[in-house]
Structure 1
Amino acid sequence: MAPRRTTTKPPKNPAPPAPAEPVVCSPCDGSGMVATTVRVGRKRRPVGQQDGLCLNCLGTGLAPDA
């Protein structure tokens, strides 16, 4: 009689890896908008800020290198 096998076989199809979390864009912190200083006058003095599109991620909020 053959000896009994005491170890188990590894699974044939291992579980797929979990999807990675999307990395947020650092300049806009994932919002897609950044504050841009508004300058007016001959001496170009700053008077306030307005929202502008993040040029790093182009408004998606996700890091482009990920």
Structure 2
Amino acid sequence: MVARKPGATEPAKCPVCNGTGEISRTVHVGRKRRVAGEQTGLCLNCLGSGEAPST
């Protein structure tokens, strides 16, 4: 984590993961594509940092 200067504003949160850096996806199994649960993974929008990417 990068040290921030006192009084500096906080970076905006990633809109996809809400600043957590992780997202959950539903896992489907079988030919009928039954729901088997959820799997947590890295947010590809912010690459796990939780900060909104700069444009």
Report the TM-score when normalising by structure 1. 0.64
Structure with more strand by fraction: 2
Provide the residue aligned with 1:27 in structure 2.
16
Structure 2: 5+ residue stretches without partners = 1-6
- 1:36 alignment partner, SS class: strand
Runs (4 or more) in structure 1 with deviation over 2 Å come to 18-21
- The percent of aligned pairs where both chains have the same amino acid is 55
- Residue identity matched to 2:28: R
Provide the residue aligned with 1:44 in structure 2.
33
Structure ranking higher on relative contact order (CA contacts 8 Å, 6+ apart): 2
